[in-house]
Structures are given as C-alpha cells and as structure tokens.
Structure 1
C-alpha cells in the first residue's frame, strides 16, 4: 500500500535555478533520456501561463477562442508523443484536482485531454486522496526525470513561473519518484475524468 506521507525535500541540498536556466537544464536532461520514465506532479489550482495564446484568450474571457487556439497544437503534440516513444521515454503527468474546478483548471483539463488523445500519459487524482501528505502545506509542484533529477518548480504568489530548485542526490530523488509513481497509480485517466466532470460544465469566467 502507498505510504501517502510525503518524502523529505531538503532545500539546503538543492540548487536554485532561474527560469531560463531551469528551462535549458530541463530540456537538455529530458532529451537525453533513453528508456526511462519521468513523472510530473501538478498541485496548484491556478497558474499564469506565459507565452500561451490560448491562456491569454481565457484571461480575456474568450472561451471559444481559447479552445480554437488549443486545437491548433495537434501537430506539435503528435510529434512530442512520437519523440517520447522513439526514445522509450515515457512522461507521466499527474494532475491534482479540487472541485469545483477553478477557471484555470477547467481550461487546463481541456489541454490535458487533448494531450492524452495524442498519446501523452495523464491521470487525475482528487486532492483529498493525497491529504495525508498535506497536513502542514500543499504538495509542491514537482518533476522527476528518469529517476535521476528532481525539480521543484517555483511560482510567484499569483502563479507566474519563477524558476526551480534542482536535486540530483539519489537519496532525495528516488523517494519522490516512488511517491509520484504510487500516487499516479491511484489516479483516474484524464479522458474518463474529463467526460464525467469537465465536459458538462459551462464556459468558465475570465481568469
């Protein structure tokens, strides 16, 4: 049975990366993976995406335009999934959800559904399932690449990207890889969750 208590995340043993340094480091390490699994845990219920026209449309309250722009990513998503398959590098994404959904999360779940339709691996887990890990504070936003590198992705108070902390010590990385893997196993496929919870919702307000 999964121990739902979260592992340690010792800040003093990590390295702080700026937003650009994190993006560069992530890209290089992720592209080098051959035959390894990676994991992403998303916990916050609101983000300020940067450089996304679809996200900007949501911010303006133009829901149909947000969905139209999202649909335009099909070729890129297909190419990403094929590249992962070619490298044998499965990337699993676990989205923690609180209901009722925030406008941002409603939008993101449309995006995650689209990703899953092109072969990306996405599951959803209710926040209360992971409550034993959140007695003091919510779980952090985390990415584990190939059980070798752990990032805690950082955000400003309003949800804007602010770089990351990075750990490469196996004694820190491996427990978190195991934790996210176990939490992922408890999740529901995003496609069935979307059909059951998200599809019936009216368009969200601007956010």
Structure 2
C-alpha cells in the first residue's frame, strides 16, 4: 500500500554541504555500504546536468549524438552493476514524471532506460502518486545511502547542482525509506513506460526548454 505522506525535512536538523563537499562525502559513504540497498528520488522535471557530454550535445541540438554518447556509458554502467552485485547493495531509483514530457525528461528517460538495461532498478510514477505529500510544495530530491545517510540534494532555480543537506537521524531515514519503497512498489518499470510513452516520440530540441 502506498504511504500517503513523505516525512518533512527540516534544514536546521541537517548539515549543509557545498557541492564539492557533498560529492566527497557521498563517495566516501557509498564505498562503505555492503548488503544494504540505496535509494534515489527524482522530482524536478528539468536539470542542468554537469559534466555530461550527452547532455552538452542535447543542448547544441544534436539529438543523435546525444543518444550515441549515452550509449557509450554502457560498459561503465555494467561495471557499476557488477560491483553492486559483489557488495550485495542495489541502487533503486524512483522517477516522478509529469506530462507532457519536458524536453529534458525525454532525454533523461533515454538515460534511465539505459541504466535499467544495465541492471539499475528504475521505476516511474505519475505526479498523482505524490500529490498527498505536495499540498504546499513539491517534494525534495532525495538520496539515501545504505539506510544510514539521507541527502536532500539541492539545485538552483535553473536546475544547476548546488550541494546538499545531510541527515543521519535513523527515524527520519527509516521514514523516507518506507515512503520510497511504497512509491517504488506502486511504480512502473521504466522500460515498459519508455516503450509505450517515449520510444515513438520525434527528436526534441533545446529550443523548447
């Protein structure tokens, strides 16, 4: 059964990390996880990806090159999946999708489909699934590592990464894990969603963003 409400995150109860500190902290904590799953919840419908050649090609309007560059990541993603298997720790992603799809979301869904092909566990939910938790504001972007650390990932108004707030309270993290698991169970596998809603669409252009 879908839990109706996500736990509320109070910034003062966490620790603010600037972007570089967040990335270092994430890598350090992620490397220590064994036999415990991790979760990512994505809500925004537009991001400005940093350090992605595929995303850069998309910004230039070169859709075919963007897709080609996405596929170049396949071996790296397969290696990540093998490492997850070795550690007994699997990454689950819950992606909220609004329609009509933004140009960014059409690009990201291609990326998520590739991740799923390589072993990542990705499901899509419609905005109605989170409506009970969004009566005053959209839900935050959240990552949970191994049940021990929760990051509220921050972005600028235009979608540029801007660090995170780190939480370590077990009760808060447990509440979010329960909520994300219920969303995941209520969601649709990204591959079937992609085949039905995205595969037939014409190439998007950055002008529409």
Structure 1 position 10, deviation (Å): 1.7
Give the Cα–Cα distance (whole angstroms) in 1 for the partners of residues 112 and 3 of structure 2. Answer: 27
Pairing 1:48-197 to 2, within 5 Å after superposition: 48-197=48-197
Residue 11 (structure 1) aligns with: 11
Structure 1: 4+ residue segments shifted above 4 A:
none
Give the Cα–Cα distance (whole angstroms) in 1 for the partners of residues 109 and 78 of structure 2. Answer: 18
Q: TM-score, normalised by structure 2?
A: 0.97
Structure 1 position 146, deviation (Å): 1.1
Q: Report the 3-state secondary structure (helix = DSSP H, G, I; strand = E; otherwise coil) of the residue aligned with 1:44.
A: coil
Aligned Cα RMSD in Å?
Answer: 0.8
Q: How far does the alpha carbon of each residue in 1:5-48 deviate from its partner, in whole angstroms, 9 at most, with x for none? A: 12121211100001011111111111111000111000000000
Q: Are the counterparts in 1 of residues 122 and 189 from structure 2 also a CA contact under 8 Å? A: yes
Structure 1 position 2, deviation (Å): 2.5
Structure 1 position 177, deviation (Å): 1.1
Residue 22 (structure 1) aligns with: 22
What is the total number of aligned residue pairs between the two structures? Answer: 207
Give the Cα–Cα distance (whole angstroms) in 1 for the partners of residues 79 and 101 of structure 2. Answer: 30
Structure 1 position 119, deviation (Å): 0.7
Q: TM-score, normalised by structure 1?
A: 0.98
